[in-house]
Amino acid sequence: MCYRVDRCFGGRRQVRKGRVQTNSHSVVRLTDPARVDELHALVHGVFGALRIDPPSSVLQETVADFTARLASEACFAIEVDGRLIASIFCAPDGDALYVGRLAVAPDWRRRGIASVLIEAAKDEARRVGARRITLGARIALAGNVALFRRHGFEVVRATCHPGFATPTSYDMEWVRGASEEVAPCRG
């Protein structure tokens, strides 16, 4: 599995089979079920600390749910010194790739790590031939909405969670440009 990341944090990137190296940090396609406990703990820790109402549904997901998700979806992660510090899931959905559960450990935020994962998701969309990337973003998390907008995502609709009279989430979408092509894999 080979993919490219156009933007990185911490400096120059090197592309290697299955991995994008950015200095001492790397984006990996996480496939090892032995790491699902660590992945589950990372995502639950990040989403559990969010001050949103209603709480994220990811908090109801078990390790078994994450194991199944890891088997059926692409998961990109960033690790430092063997510890997962960030992750994102990508699931095919018709002509789109749905991304979710973007999580960055609190002590690693504001360093461009989420941007690297978004770019990895864009590269995955190109690789699988998806025309669009879709996601849901909580309106209350204005910084997240702004991050996605900086990466070319647009709000396509506002939605309400059950029991709420006003919108709580945005459905957002990034549409792949006609001139974009998949980067060929090399060695």
Q: What percent of the chain has pLDDT over 90?
A: 74
The string of DSSP letters for 67-117 reads HHHHHHSEEEEEEETTEEEEEEEEEEETTEEEEEEEEE-GGG-SSSHHHHH
The angle subtended at Cα 88 by Cα 85 and Cα 90, nearest 5°, is 160
Given a cut of 60, whether residue 79 has pLDDT beyond it is yes
Ordered by start, the domain boundaries in the chain are 13-175
The angle subtended at Cα 172 by Cα 105 and Cα 74, nearest 5°, is 55
Residues whose CB falls within 8 Å of the CB of residue 162, separated by 6 or more in sequence, listed in order: none
pLDDT tens by residue, 130-165: 999 999 999 999 999 999 999 999 999 999 999 999
- What angle do the packed helices 113-128 and 142-150 form, to 10 degrees? 50
CATH superfamily label, 13-175:
Gcn5-related N-acetyltransferase (GNAT) (3.40.630.30)
